Amino acid sequence: MSELNEQQMEQLRTALARRHAELARDIREDLKATGSERYADLAGEVNDSGDESVADQMVDLNAAMIERELGELKAVEAARKRFDDGEYGECIDCGVDIPFARLFAYPAATRCIACQSQRERTYAQGRSASL
């Protein structure tokens, strides 16, 4: 495990537990809202193409939000497992200790800033639009 003192470890453990609880609550609320917002209700009584388009976008937005929250929840759960396994706070690419400030800002971080920056530069190039 990285060179974090006991106080820092406790702060990070608490931050991970708090974020896990927040995400679980948000996902439950979003799923309840999605279940109660039937597509027909979103589209309204009049089914014209404009209403249908808005309803489609709202359904897609809700699904994307839930998917993002689920992804973050999985990252937090993985961080908690690394914590329990004694592997928390080490960069998965280079093995260097991730600084406390980075972990405090994003407790589920798996990479040091240098490796994360390199990864973002590498994969950002592959997302360019093409016609």
Higher pLDDT, 119 or 126: 119
Domain 6-125 class? mainly alpha
DSSP 99: P
Backbone angles phi, psi at 113, to 5 degrees: -60, -40
pLDDT at 56: 66
User: In this structure, are residues 103 and 89 in contact, taking their beta carbons and an 8 Å threshold?
Assistant: yes
pLDDT in tens, 8-52: 999 999 999 999 999 999 999 888 877 655 545 555 555 666 666
pLDDT at 64 over 90: no
| Domain residue ranges of the chain, discontinuous segments joined by + | 6-125
* Of residues 63, 67, 76, the one with CA closest to residue 21: 76
pLDDT at 34: 72
Q: What is the pLDDT of residue 85?
A: 93
Model pLDDT, residue 32: 81
